[in-house]
Amino acid sequence: MTRDDARALDAADPLARYRDLFDLPDGVIYLDGNSLGALPKAVPAAIADATTRQWGDRLIRSWNEGWIDAPQRLGAQVAPLIGAAPDEVIVGDSTSTHLFKLIVAALRNNPGRNTVVSERGNFPTDLHIAEGAVACVPGARLRTVDRDDLADAIDADTALLMLTHVHYKTADRFDMPAWTARAHAAGALMLWDLSHSVGAVPLDLTAANADMAVGCTYKYLNGGPGAPAFLFVADRHQAAFANPISGWMGHAAPFEFADAYRPADGMTRWLVGTPPILSTAALEAALGVWVDIDQAQVATKSAALFDILAAAGDALGLACVSPRDPAHRGSHISFRHPHAYAITQALIARGVIGDFRDPDILRLGLTPLYLSHDDVWRAGAILADVMRDEAWRDPAYAERSVVT
């Protein structure tokens, strides 16, 4: 692929016009939107309105002017991106907190079964939270196995299969309908973490017959650092499943100020405390970008961007650990190299921002809304310079920062 080829793809790109909806610094090729998405231009004004007008001027009245129902309203906006009905999704808290709520709920709703099965090497918070959640349910335990052993690990004691749809390191993607069906055939419930999937690959929780799902909104959805996460419970489970963190915002009538907890109907019961209104305002503006987007176009462009970097990596003899088949991966590409950390730093010093995942992964995020094929082609050329000149050997690139 030549640079002219990349430019020709840009000329025919139906998503090219979305680039202008984002603010990105000059001189940067941003390949880390899979960790923290770029800033949509609509967000600063939305935060300014939420602070100056809604908070400063309208004060407490704003609760009745759009704040109190923001979690449900944003849930309905996320729903089409994950193939859910508008009243099956709520937004608030963090992905970690949502995981806790759903793991405990699943264990309590699948009596006689005690095991939560998950993948060894899953994103750490999923496993940490599962460890904490099983400790809260008498008899429950967490069993983690390698991906190849998952099918055999699901048995008559499995209450819940909890998987991350797209793996944060390799971008490996599970077949959602097939694994959900496998869990159900064994009598287990299925919980999907869609953090690396939403906005990256087409999703259809309804067609997959999924029970529960969570996901963060600060990656491909560009909701901003610490943006509230989403939680999905299929309509058929909503009446039976209970939120173990029974806070007043999940109460049927919070402003009756009753001593006893009585869960709200529908998704509202999954709320805990007061929603973070300023971050919710940022996320709502960011979700506006997605309204007319065709997920199939996102997938097609993601695959083309991947191919550009895969070819650059192949030419350099780099070991690509991401699946070559686009149906089996998310929207990032990872290379394994013993000096991946220093290579990441050398790239950042040259304006190509990717990230490093311990111990040896260089990870480059491919966000079709604001990256051009030419951006990615140039990133490949800069990677080639870094590798051919061994620029990564500079001792300045060895020192580890806290956040990698």
Ligand X SMILES: Nc1c(O)cccc1C(=O)C[C@H](N)C(=O)O
Ligand Y SMILES: Cc1ncc(COP(=O)(O)O)c(C=O)c1O
217 is in an annotated binding site: no
Cβ atoms within 10 A of the Cβ of 86, count? Answer: 14
230 binds ligand X (CB under 6 A): no
Q: Which is nearer to ligand X, 60 or 403 (CB)?
A: 403
270 binds ligand X (CB under 6 A): no
- Strand partners of residue 43: none
Residue 383 Cβ, how far from ligand Y at the closest point, in Å? 24
Residue 43 Cβ, how far from ligand X at the closest point, in Å? 18
402 binds ligand X (CB under 6 A): no
Classify residue 400 by its DSSP letter: P
Query: Which are the catalytic amino acids?
Result: 123, 193, 218-219, 363
**Strands annotated E in 254-397:** 319-320, 332-336, 352-353, 355-357, 361-365
Question: What number of chain residues touch ligand X (CB under 6 A)?
Answer: 3
Q: Which long-range contacts (CB under 8 A, 24 or more apart) does 240-243 make?
A: 240/109, 241/102, 241/105, 241/106, 241/109, 242/105, 242/108, 242/269, 243/101, 243/105, 243/269, 243/270, 243/271, 243/272
Q: Which is nearer to ligand X, 100 or 168 (CB)?
A: 168
**Strands annotated E in 280-341:** 319-320, 332-336
- φ/ψ (deg, to 5) at 234: -60, 140
Judged by beta carbon distances under 5 to 8 A according to partner kind, the member of ligand X, ligand Y, none in contact with residue 125 is ligand Y
Cβ 101 vs Cβ 243: under 8 Å: yes
Q: Which is nearer to ligand Y, 100 or 335 (CB)?
A: 100
**Strands annotated E in 122-246:** 141-145, 158-164, 189-193, 212-215, 229-233
Per-residue contact flags (x/-) with ligand X for residues 151 to 190, judged by CB under 6 A: -----------------x----------------------
What CA–CA distance (Å, rounded) separates 163 from 122? 8
Q: Which is nearer to ligand X, 185 or 403 (CB)?
A: 403
217 binds ligand X (CB under 6 A): no
Residues near ligand Y (CB under 6 A) are: 94-96, 123, 125-126, 164, 168, 193, 195-196, 216, 229
Candidate residues 35, 54, 180, 280; the one interacting with ligand X per rule CB under 6 A? 35
Buried b / exposed e along 342-368 (16+ C-beta atoms within 10 A):
bbbbbbbebebbbbbbeebbbbbbbbb
Judged by beta carbon distances under 5 to 8 A according to partner kind, the member of ligand X, ligand Y, none in contact with residue 403 is ligand X
| Residue 23 three-state SS | strand
- φ/ψ (deg, to 5) at 368: -65, -20
Residue 168 Cβ, how far from ligand X at the closest point, in Å? 3
What is the total residue count of the chain? 404
Residue 360 Cβ, how far from ligand X at the closest point, in Å? 15
Judged by beta carbon distances under 5 to 8 A according to partner kind, the member of ligand Y, ligand X, none in contact with residue 164 is ligand Y
125 is in an annotated binding site: yes
96 is in an annotated binding site: yes
Q: Which residues bind ligand X (CB under 6 A)?
A: 35, 168, 403
Binding-site positions for pyridoxal 5'-phosphate read: 95-96, 123-126, 164, 193, 196, 218, 248, 274
